[in-house]
């Protein structure tokens, strides 16, 4: 087979992933290659791609290209994807996540907002991929190669290294702003909190807490008790900050 050239144009913020940050890439190929492999060889994980047009026609990731072609690649935020509602490659409405080992602060923020995030700081890469696939969770990571595993159906590469900005990124990417339920989930283990009677947990409380507070929640997973003490005000401030950021930046 003689070699051929594929010319790719990356739209939206996908240029972020390209080596020279230029939106057009030409690749010389010697064999028939799938769209997924061609796009990922440019550095863009398939989880970031919502629409691919080959010579103007929408295709999916398994489409094989064997001769000269022009390929347009769009992110989930590109306006053009709405022109091809049947051909969008990313699933909408993902509400469950699994996070890479380096993202402890992001995980805490998301759980604080009530979002379901599995996190194990000792998890190996293949465990993350397995959890994502088996439980239909979007994989959150700053390792783009992890997102290139075919078994990862949903995922997101965090652009920022700042946990507050990362939280806002996730809320935007997965349209979570309208489904937040702050203070309903355990920050330590992800279980949903239950209200607890004071008499039943009084042994776990310090003396001042016993005196000043009557409303408590308890985690059925790890036993942690929560109440609206001084730490609560700090957490509320954090939530306010996240909501403000979510509204101000486009
Ligand atoms: Zn817990």
Please tell me whether residue 6 adopts helix, strand or coil conformation: strand
Give the per-residue pLDDT at 143: 97
Write the CB contacts of 13 (distance below 8 Å, at least 6 apart in sequence).
75, 77, 159
CA of 221 to the centre of ligand 1 (A): 5
Q: Cα–Cα distance between 218 and 82 in angstroms, integer?
A: 44
CATH 3.10.20.30 placement within the chain:
4-87
Residue count (the chain): 250
Give the per-residue pLDDT at 249: 61
Give the per-residue pLDDT at 130: 98
**DSSP state, 114?**
T
pLDDT tens series, the chain, 250 aa = 789 999 999 998 899 999 887 899 999 999 999 999 999 999 999 999 999 999 999 999 999 999 999 999 999 988 888 999 999 999 988 999 999 999 999 999 999 999 999 999 999 999 999 999 999 999 999 999 999 999 999 999 999 999 999 999 999 999 999 999 999 999 999 999 999 888 888 888 888 888 878 889 999 999 999 988 878 899 999 999 999 999 986 5
CA of 69 to the centre of ligand 1 (A): 53
Give the per-residue pLDDT at 250: 57
Q: Contact, 57 vs 38, CB < 8 A?
A: no
The number of beta carbons lying within 10 Å of the beta carbon of residue 75 is 22
Q: How far out from the chain centre does Cα 138 lie?
A: 6
The token duo for 143 is 């390792």
The number of beta carbons lying within 10 Å of the beta carbon of residue 9 is 15
CATH 3.40.50 placement within the chain:
96-186+232-248
Name the helix (H) or strand (E) containing 138. strand 138-141
Give the per-residue pLDDT at 214: 82
**CA-CA-CA-CA torsion for 114, 115, 120, 121, nearest 10 degrees?**
-80
CA of 223 to the centre of ligand 1 (A): 6
pTM for this prediction: 0.93
The token duo for 142 is 């700053």
CA of 226 to the centre of ligand 1 (A): 10
Topology of domain 4-87 in CATH is: Ubiquitin-like (UB roll) (3.10.20)
CA of 244 to the centre of ligand 1 (A): 28
CA of 204 to the centre of ligand 1 (A): 14
Topology of domain 96-186+232-248 in CATH is: Rossmann fold (3.40.50)
Q: Cα–Cα distance between 150 and 46 in angstroms, integer?
A: 9
CA of 206 to the centre of ligand 1 (A): 19
Q: Cα–Cα distance between 192 and 200 in angstroms, integer?
A: 18
């Amino acid at each position: 087979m003689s070699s051929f050239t594929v010319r790719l144009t990356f739209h939206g913020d996908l240029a972020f992933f390209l080596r020279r940050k230029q939106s057009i890439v030409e690749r010389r190929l010697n064999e028939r290659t799938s769209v997924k492999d061609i796009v990922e060889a440019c550095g863009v994980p398939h989880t970031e791609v919502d629409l691919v047009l080959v010579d103007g026609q929408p295709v999916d990731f398994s489409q094989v290209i064997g001769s000269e072609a022009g390929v347009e690649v769009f992110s989930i935020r590109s306006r053009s994807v709405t022109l091809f509602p049947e051909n969008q490659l990313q699933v909408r409405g993902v509400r469950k996540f699994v996070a890479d080992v380096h993202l402890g602060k992001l995980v805490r923020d998301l759980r604080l907002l009530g979002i379901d995030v599995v996190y194990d700081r000792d998890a190996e890469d293949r465990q993350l991929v397995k959890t994502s696939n088996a439980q239909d969770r979007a994989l959150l990571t700053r390792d783009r190669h992890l997102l290139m595993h075919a078994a990862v159906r949903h995922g997101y590469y965090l652009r920022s290294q700042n946990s507050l900005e990362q939280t806002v990124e996730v809320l935007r990417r997965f349209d979570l702003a309208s489904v937040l339920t702050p203070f309903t989930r355990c920050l330590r283990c992800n279980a949903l909190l239950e209200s607890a009677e004071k008499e039943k947990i009084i042994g776990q409380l310090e003396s001042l807490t016993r005196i000043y507070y009557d409303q408590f929640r308890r985690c059925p997973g790890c036993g942690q008790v929560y109440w609206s003490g001084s730490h609560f005000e700090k957490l509320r401030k954090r939530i306010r900050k996240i909501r403000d950021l979510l509204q101000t930046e486009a």
